[in-house]
Amino acid sequence: MSAGHDHGSDNMSDGRLLFAVVINVLLTIAQIIGGVLSGSLALIADALHNFSDAASLALALFARRIGRRPADAFMTFGYARGEVVAALINLTTLLIIGFYLLVEAINRFADPQPIEGWTVIIVAGIALVIDLVTAIMVYASSKESLNMKAAFLHNVSDALASVGVIVAGILILLYDLYIADLIITIAIAVYVIYQGITLLPKTVRLLMGAVPDDLEFDEIVETLRQTNGVKSVHHVHLWSISEHSLSLEAHLVPKEKSLESFEAVKASARSALAEKYDIKHATFESCLETDCSPEIVPTHERRHNHE
């Protein structure tokens, strides 16, 4: 399966991202105060989740700045993978928070506490507005970056959590249904855990250098085989330098022995890889049959199996 990517310019300035961090930190403080005064675990849960939003946005901002640094003698591929590392940290904290809230809610079922409904509703209402504004600000960039997508999901889940907290506050006011606070907390925790589990495998695969999900390894090998002047292909390796930058190296056995003809073969192969698969960093080595050994050119093709 071929794939093309169009990754436009960044849709969210660092200044707007910094503003989102600041308002989420202020919101976290307000929610913690409101949760303590009202006795609402759901509001405190939302505050902790919102703090993770602020942290994820701050980490995303830091990773974006690091990722723009050019390659150097220490990081020869550049620093773009820093955003993937940030996504991994954000998703891991998301899972930790989710499990923590789940345990706290289960513990409180044994001893429900009285809760001030109006405080819960007012604070959660303010939180909902801020969460929605932040999510809208981050949304555009989330289409292009796993790092920003993780931050966006933090905000969306927190907005949903705020809705749940408001519902719990209303049920407490109308029916003294204090258990609604715990039920909403569990719902928030389960949703947070689901989000982390959904994105974590892709993030780990990127860091481990796996073949991207939208590319077929065997098809790429066949494209190299079909390149004019190529007799056979061996030792093909494909990995992600960053989320949107791919690298490939391969061992090509040319049909002709001249250096000039092999340069033409390499140019043709690079052009095909860039056009069909957006692979713009490709390194090729040649081996003439008279110089090859079984250790260098095995009789079978190496296959990469990925799901």
pLDDT range class, residue 111, cuts 50, 70, 90? low
Residue labelled with tokens 């390149």: 227
Q: What is the pLDDT of residues 273-295, one digit of tens each?
A: 888 888 888 888 876 555 544 33
Residue 301 lies in a domain: no
| Structural domain boundaries, residue 141 | 14-207
* pLDDT of 8 higher than 60: no
Say if residue 139 is in the same domain as residue 40: yes
Say if residue 33 is in the same domain as residue 82: yes
* pLDDT of 193 higher than 80: yes
CATH number at residue 41: 1.20.1510.10
DSSP 3-state of 255: coil
Here the tokens at position 307 are 């799901």
Residue labelled with tokens 């989710």: 98
Residue labelled with tokens 């192969």: 269
- CA 99, 101, 107 angle in degrees (round to 5)? 105
pTM to 2 decimals?
0.62
Predicted pLDDT at 298: 36
Say if residue 35 is in the same domain as residue 170: yes
Say if residue 240 is in the same domain as residue 279: yes
Residue 295 lies in a domain: no
Residue labelled with tokens 């405190």: 44
Say if residue 160 is in the same domain as residue 272: no
CATH number at residue 237: 3.30.70.1350
Predicted pLDDT at 287: 63
Angstrom distance (rounded) from CA 148 to CA 140 = 9
Predicted pLDDT at 113: 65
Say if residue 234 is in the same domain as residue 157: no
Say if residue 190 is in the same domain as residue 251: no
Angstrom distance (rounded) from CA 29 to CA 34 = 9
Angstrom distance (rounded) from CA 105 to CA 42 = 8
Say if residue 152 is in the same domain as residue 236: no
For residues 219-225, average pLDDT: 89
DSSP 3-state of 281: strand
User: In Å, what is the CA distance from 265 to each residue of 55, 236, 293?
Assistant: 49, 16, 22
**For the ranges 111-120, 160-169, 194-203, 255-264, which has the lowest average pLDDT?**
111-120
The residues that bridge with 247 in the sheet, in sequence order, are 239, 281
What's the domain count of the chain?
A: 2
